[in-house]
Structure 1
Amino acid sequence: MSLLRSARFPAIMLLVAAAAGLIIANSPIGHSVQEIQHTYVGIPGVFELSVGHWIADGLLALFFFVVAVELQFELTNGQLNSARKALQPAIAAAGGVIVPIAVYLAFAWGTSSADGWPIPTATDIAFALGVLAVFGRGLPSGVRIFLLALAILDDIVGIIFIAVLFTDGVNIALLAAAAVIVVVFGYLSRKLDTRARAVVIPILLVLAIATWVLVYLSGVHATIAGVALGLAMAQQPALHTRHAMEPWVNVIVLPLFAFSSALVVIPAVSIEELTPAFYGILIALPVGKILGISLFGWISQRVAHDPAMPRLPLADLLAAGALGGIGFTVSLLLSELAFKGNDLLTDEAVLGVLSGSLISVVIAGILVSMRARHYRRRASALTQPGEAEAS
């Protein structure tokens, strides 16, 4: 079980599953596998989703719950436990949205591709943390926490874009009902250390499922339910729940999500057919994210610096920016929505997301490895005084 809780092994499973999905999607059996992904499962006539949606909207909500619990701890007792500390990744996240939009529009302004400006704003938190885990052995926890908060905020922005720009209408009544249930869920979770525990647990499960269903039916991306429940739950029970769920999320949820998300057919588009949609995404994901996150992150540490919190060096911010450029899943979803009805632009956007995310993975792997090696050398020097003095 300790292997499944480690950072590196689940991350490797995640990346292998993603590679397998991409290879299978572009193989002779790809069509058959995609048909399974599009098969509807559920209660006929009442509530049915495709297998792909059950994974992306249902199982992934469990991952977001686990991540939100960790973020809640950091916001209350950890490294983001003051408004000034929490403001730093928020400002960096703003840069990670604003600059990629500007880069994209520099290519697409005034063309039919301009509607795709939200596409490069997303960060795929699962893949970003996976790359960080594989290459980042020895990095200080502050880098991971910074990226965690940054990626969650980026994902929330992506979800807001989906809800506001690409949803025919959000059902406010259902969303409000979900919010009320989250409040009740949070209140009852504080009763888990009482004698009523045996009764409270099944009620919490029902409330959690009801929240997810209502958020989904409201038109808002259902994974936001996992975030809300993770932030609302009483801290100690939430940490215990996270500990129990973590191995299953690592070995089942994330690999399935990675495999399903990567079942994308690489479109056959000639160089002559490429439009600003492709080039805008290709550049905005790696370059826009690195520039936006590192620049705004650097600014945030000067305008909102907390003396109790060490500043991240610019090199660490650059590494976090590269990780932020792994748009992948949410960016693919935004591509489908932004260019709905235009198959050519959709194909080019998909190709841009895959290419830009892959470039970001490579750059992030290099930068994170360099920073991790730097910190390991420094830690080694500190534990060997003689060696430190010689250097």
Structure 2
Amino acid sequence: MIDNHQSLPQESADRITKPFARFLEIQAAASGLLFLAVLLALALANSPWQEGFLGFWKTPVGLTFGSFDFTRSLRHWINDGLMTLFFFVLSLELKREIVLGELQNPRQAALPFAGALGGMVVPVAFYHLLMSGQPGAHGWGTVMATDTAFVIGCLALFGRRIPSTLRLFLLSLAIFDDVGAILVVAFGYGEALNWSALGLGLLGIGVVAGASRVGIRSVPVYFLLGAAVWLCIDASGVHATIAGVILGLMTPTRIWVSDARLHAILGRLRAVPAGDRQQGDTATRHNLRQASRAVTEALSPVERLETMLHPWVGFAIMPIFALANAGITVQGADFEQPVSLAIIVGLVLGKPIGVFGFSWLAVRSGLAVLAPGLSGPLILAGSFLTGIGFTMSLFIAGLAFDPATLNAAKLGILSGSAIAATAGILMLLLLTIHAARTKSATSTAEQGRVP
């Protein structure tokens, strides 16, 4: 029988043991808060407080020293600064899944990658077809990405009635195409390049790699280096959020303290009387400090950073982003504007056609395999959910459109995302009802054969 004093105290959060399960748990909960933030932004943007609410996000914030002026609007700090952490966490999750998780098998990773590729190429083709030669044609990036939180939130409605492999497929796909979208943002929606600042940013990335190579393990040191890299890339003309993607993919997945070493270090503490641990700077106190560090370093940097940052991203950064960007005035809204219609078509038709079509081709060609429990109808239903472009679509729209067309673009994003979510949920509902009836009929038939 195990003594309770030999294990860590039990907390309610201890039941979430796997990083993947924890990621899904946070995403599902965060989607509800994100939805409330969207409703609040829409309500305030169409209320008597409209002017104050919309003007608040334009408030200049920054530092000025003589001729040096580093001032940005509050919305800019949110979209370029806080969202860097959003992409950093997405990159951590992508690297962990590829190196340590379910995507280690190249043929399993190929399926969401192919779906993500189709989910970027086909909607962009639809958008170009509808917007060719018209104002706003440069906004094709708005139909490329999938909102991870809302997709996982929709899947959470069905609980265990859908296979976990569908969640993994859609989560991996969303991360792949979000990273692809931010690469497009960095180079497709950047400004004229400042090569000196870009060079300093690349030098900073090299310093981060060197610090990791020589064994510097202090998280605050890397946050300071990351902030310096962000400032340089922001000044370079390349969109600064690419710094989050690069630094996330550079984060090590290897643990520093092995299980055997951890057990040996902890073993030195077992025979020490409790009172001896309070006797100043003794060898026992040294062993306690070493054990504390060993426990921390028994997890990889990817896992520790993801655990630390993911709740902040899900419950703070994304709702703040929604408040700053989802406020559109719907009075006199015109759905016949070319930009709105092109975005709706791209999200509602382009995304599912591209995701399902490229996934089907990948499986038929032998490049990818279907995970257990994953079927064509489930992929088709999930493909419609990938049309929920909300967060990334709004993010790109703010870069791609001028003020005259931005409101129409946001209207198309919200409408297209809502239609895609409704279609995906209804398809999954029909599939789960059919599966339940089939299971019930099979069970009844088996009982009838019992002598």
TM over 0.5: yes
Does residue 230 of structure 2 align to residue 212 of structure 1?
yes
- Partner residue of 1:37? 57
Q: Which amino acid aligns with 2:172?
A: A
Amino acid at match of 2:228: A
Distance, in Å, in 1 between the alignment partners of 2:192 and 2:445 is 62
Cα RMSD over matched residues? 3.4
Determine if the alignment matches structure 1 residue 318 to structure 2 residue 380.
yes
Helix, strand or coil for the counterpart of 2:416?
helix
Q: Select which of 389, 401, 412 maps to 1:327.
A: 389
Change (3 A) 1:226 1:134: farther
Identity %: 36
Structure 2 counterpart of 1:319, which letter? Answer: A
Distance in 2 (CA, whole Å) between partners of 1:211 and 1:374 is 52
Report the counterpart of residue 104 of structure 2 in structure 1.
81
- CA drift of 1:313 comes to 1.5
- Alpha-carbon deviation of 1:238? 1.6
- Structure number with larger C-alpha Rg: 2
Q: How far is 1:296 from its partner?
A: 0.7
| 3-state SS in 1 of match to 2:102 | coil
Aligned to 2:47: 27
Displacement of 1:291 after TM fit? Answer: 0.7
8 Å Cα contact 1:100-1:121 kept in structure 2: yes
**1:358 alignment partner AA:** A
Whole-angstrom CA distance in 1 between matches of 2:401 and 2:83: 25
| Equivalent residue number for residue 343 of structure 2 | 281
Matched, 1:256 2:320: yes
The amino acid of 2:423's aligned partner reads I
Aligned residues between the structures: 378
Aligned partner letter, 2:239: H
Query: 2:198 and 2:430 mapped to 1: Cα distance?
Result: 44
Match of 2:74 among 12, 29, 51: 51
Report if the CA contact (8 A) 1:143-1:320 is conserved. yes
How far did residue 112 of structure 1 move? 4.5
- Residue 130 of structure 2: which of 92, 99, 107 is its match? 107
Q: Distance in 1 between matches of 2:416 and 2:248?
A: 31
Q: 1:136 to 1:63 in 2, by over 3 A?
A: farther
**Maintained 8 Å contact 1:267/1:348:** no
- State the shift of 1:255 in Å: 1.9
How far apart, in 2, do the equivalents of 1:100 and 1:63 lie? 24
In structure 1, how many angstroms separate the alpha carbons of the residues matched to 2:33 and 2:77? 20
Instruction: After TM superposition, give the deviation of residue 27 of structure 1 in Å.
Output: 1.3
Q: Distance in 2 between matches of 1:311 and 1:174?
A: 49
- Point out where structure 2 has 5 or more consecutive residues left out of the alignment: 1-11, 17-21, 254-299
Structure 1 runs not aligned, ≥5 long? none
Q: How does 1:196-275 map to 2 (within 5 A)?
A: 197=217, 200-235=218-253, 236-266=300-330, 268-270=332-334, 274-275=336-337
Equivalent residue number for residue 280 of structure 2: none
Structure 1 pair 23/369, CA: closer, same or farther in 2 (3 Å)?
farther
* Bigger shift: residues 325-334 or 58-67: 325-334
Q: Secondary structure at the match of 1:254?
A: helix
User: Which stretch shifts more, 34-43 or 142-151?
Assistant: 142-151
Q: Which moved more, 1:34-43 or 1:44-53?
A: 44-53
Query: After superposition, where does 1:122-133 map in structure 2 within 5 Å?
Result: 122-133=145-156
Does the CA-based 8 Å contact 2:347-2:417 persist in structure 1?
A: yes
Per-residue CA deviation, residues 313-353 of structure 1 (Å, 9 max, x unaligned), is 22232233222212234333444554437x2x444333222
1:99-142 per-position Cα deviation (integer Å, ceiling 9, x unaligned):
11232234334545544444322333343344344555554343
User: Does the CA contact (< 8 Å) of 1:66 and 1:230 recur in 2?
Assistant: yes
Picking from 415, 422, 442, the partner of 1:355 is 415
The verdict on how the C-alpha distance between 1:26 and 1:10 changes in structure 2, with shifts beyond 3 A counting, is same
The answer as to whether partners of 2:326 and 2:394 remain within 8 angstroms in 1 is no
SS at match of 1:268: coil
Q: Matched residue of 1:41: which SS?
A: strand
**1:64 maps onto 2:64 in alignment:** no
**C-alpha separation between the residues in 2 aligned to 1:129 and 1:191?**
39
- Distance change in 2, residues 1:43/1:209 (3 Å): same
Shift of 1:369: 4.8
Please report how far the alpha carbon of residue 228 of structure 1 lies from its aligned counterpart in structure 2 after TM superposition: 1.8
In the superposition, relative to structure 1, how do residues 57 and 389 fare at CA in structure 2: closer, same or farther (>3 Å)?
Answer: farther
Deviations 1:36-75 (A, max 9, x none): 2111222234433222222222222222222222211111
Q: Contact between 1:186 and 1:234, CA under 8 Å: does it hold in 2?
A: no
Once residues 172 and 131 of structure 1 are traced to their aligned partners in structure 2, the CA distance between those partners, rounded to angstroms, is 44
Amino acid at match of 1:351: L
Q: 1:261 to 1:371 in 2, by over 3 A?
A: farther
Paired position in structure 2 for 1:297: 359
Using a 3 Å threshold, how does the CA distance of structure 1 residues 348 and 257 change in structure 2: closer, same or farther?
A: closer
Query: Does the 8 A contact of 1:163 with 1:170 survive in 2?
Result: no
Distance of 1:352 and 1:358 partners within structure 2 = 10
User: Are the structure 2 counterparts of residues 339 and 58 from structure 1 closer, same or farther at C-alpha, using a change threshold of 3 Å?
Assistant: closer
Cα 1:21–1:190 shift into 2, 3 Å: farther
* Residues 372 and 174 (structure 1), Cα distance of their counterparts in 2 relative to 1, 3 Å cut: farther
2:196 and 2:433 map into 1 onto residues whose CA distance is: 51
Once residues 265 and 390 of structure 1 are traced to their aligned partners in structure 2, the CA distance between those partners, rounded to angstroms, is: 59
Is the CA contact 1:139–1:371 (under 8 Å) kept in the aligned structure 2? Answer: no
- Give 2:426's aligned residue: 366
Which amino acid in 2 is paired with 1:239?
E
Change (3 A) 1:63 1:160: closer
